[in-house]
């Protein structure tokens, strides 16, 4: 049972035919939904719509029934960028050229024209198009040549942002600071939030523990979600249910605490880097079946370089021998996919980079090359620290991408367990 506090409703309209066709995945909808929930608004819907005027008109008409409608995409200079025109039509507003905005976009476009060695005349029609806004719109910023703006057509507030996720996220704070959006937020009631993250347990195990602990109560919304081979329990809590949320969190720690690794939302790669940093340790990776995915996850974290020294993708046995010092006899005796090879790879990369911690991954990612004793989905990971090493393995019969992603996650969690000295936590 969940108590629903009346909150302003928000609708998200994500435009782009490439999203509808499946050529690209939508990143803006999930980002905006998370932001909306954290601000205390009720996310009514996320609509992904192509560039067809009729489809876009229907989506915007529905979106304008909410208190806040956030629209992304379709702000470019080409003929199929129709968002501004359709927003104006849905809001019953006329269009006009914002001369100050036109001047700002022209400055950027002239720089682009000069860099590409093209005449500015090629860009001028697009500049005027992008500077054309609905009457009453307030510009909140410029990302490249695409403007973000806010419009208040009567009962709804509309925020229009560029489609590229980086540009949208750059202009989002300006939208939040605008007077119309602040008016919507004044009626919002941000919920409290708890996040408990588990690794090594199934979703059903955590769900059972949650049920035994009492589950949802009045004023609290609890969700369980499998994310990137971890299980996340999210609690959205009204002020009157804070005490019960604390009790529920404590019950989960008691029942399934052996799987609990975090109560904040930082990804495991950030946790690993922070742990290594706190212990004054450096880290290096040796990867076979993951092809650099462990290294990629670590290096996506800013300032990782003070901990992560580097990695070696040792796909061929010859590279395992030459770059990591894995003995040929060991490879011939046990094979490339074995706990012995994983251990030798971890020790080899640790020595090669003179790192405090070495981690390795080797496995059969498929879809071919499996055998009866080493089927597709069999993966070995190993980590070595100054205090000793530990290996783990799993067999996960799935598609190639899922196997590789799970292997990278397993390697990171193994390092986390060793560096935090929680060596007996389940894999």
pLDDT digits (tens, 9 = 90+) for 192-251: 889 999 999 999 999 999 999 988 888 888 999 999 899 999 998 988 899 999 999 999
Return the pLDDT at 7: 83
Could you tell me the two tokens for 306? 């003070």
Which residues of the chain carry a pLDDT beneath 70?
Answer: 1-5, 422-427
Return the pLDDT at 281: 97
Return the pLDDT at 1: 36
Instruction: Say whether domain 193-262 belongs to CATH 3.40.50.300.
Output: no
In the chain, list all ranges with CATH 3.40.980.10. Answer: 9-185
Q: Taking Cα atoms as reference points, which of 159, 155, 191, 200 lies closest to residue 176?
A: 159
Return the pLDDT at 2: 41
Could you tell me the two tokens for 410? 């397993």
Beta bridge partners of 381: 361, 392
In the chain, list all ranges with CATH 3.30.70.2860. Answer: 193-262
Tell me the angle at which helices 268-278 and 400-419 cross, rounded to the nearest 10 degrees. 30
Could you tell me the two tokens for 381? 């990971």
Alpha helices for 214-302 (secondary structure H): 242-256, 268-278, 293-299
Return the pLDDT at 423: 56
Class of domain 268-419: alpha beta
pTM for the full model? 0.83
Instruction: Say whether domain 9-185 belongs to CATH 3.20.10.10.
Output: no
In the chain, list all ranges with CATH 3.90.950.20. Answer: 268-419
């Amino acid at each position: 049972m969940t108590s629903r506090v009346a909150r302003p409703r928000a609708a998200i309209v994500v435009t782009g035919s490439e999203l509808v066709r499946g050529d690209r995945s939508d990143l803006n909808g999930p980002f905006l939904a998370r932001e909306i929930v954290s601000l205390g608004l009720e996310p009514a819907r996320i609509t992904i719509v192509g560039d067809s005027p009729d489809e876009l008109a229907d989506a915007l008409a529905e979106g304008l029934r909410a208190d806040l409608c956030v629209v992304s995409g379709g702000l470019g200079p080409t003929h199929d960028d129709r968002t501004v025109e359709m927003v104006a039509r849905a809001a019953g507003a006329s269009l006009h050229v914002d001369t100050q905005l036109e001047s700002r976009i022209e400055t950027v476009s002239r720089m682009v024209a000069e860099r590409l060695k093209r005449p500015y005349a090629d860009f001028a029609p697009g500049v005027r198009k992008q500077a054309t806004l609905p009457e009453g719109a307030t510009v909140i910023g410029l990302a490249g040549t695409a403007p973000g703006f806010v419009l208040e057509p009567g009962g709804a507030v509309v925020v229009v942002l560029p489609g590229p996720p980086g540009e949208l996220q750059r202009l989002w704070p300006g939208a939040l600071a605008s007077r119309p959006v602040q008016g919507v937020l004044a009626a919002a009631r941000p919920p409290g939030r708890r996040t408990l993250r588990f690794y090594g347990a199934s979703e059903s195990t955590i769900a059972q523990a949650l049920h035994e602990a009492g589950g949802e109560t009045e004023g609290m919304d609890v969700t369980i979600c499998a994310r990137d081979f971890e299980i996340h329990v999210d609690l959205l809590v009204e002020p009157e249910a804070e005490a019960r949320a604390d009790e529920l969190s404590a019950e989960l720690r008691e029942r399934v605490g052996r799987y609990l690794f975090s109560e904040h939302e930082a990804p495991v790669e950030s946790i690993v880097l922070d742990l290594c940093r706190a212990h004054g340790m450096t880290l290096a990776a040796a990867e076979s079946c993951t092809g650099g995915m462990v290294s990629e996850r670590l290096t996506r974290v800013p300032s990782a370089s003070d901990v992560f020294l580097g990695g070696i993708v040792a796909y061929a046995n010859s590279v395992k021998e030459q770059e990591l010092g894995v003995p040929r006899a060991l490879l011939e005796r046990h094979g490339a996919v074995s706990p012995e090879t994983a251990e030798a790879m971890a020790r080899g990369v640790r020595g090669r980079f003179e790192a405090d911690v070495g981690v390795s991954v080797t496995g059969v990612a498929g879809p071919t090359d499996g055998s009866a004793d080493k089927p597709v989905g069999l993966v070995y990971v190993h980590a070595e620290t100054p205090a000793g090493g530990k290996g783990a393995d799993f067999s996960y019969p799935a598609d190639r991408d899922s196997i590789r992603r799970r292997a990278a996650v397993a390697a990171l969690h193994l390092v986390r367990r060793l560096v935090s000295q929680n060596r007996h936590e389940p894999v």
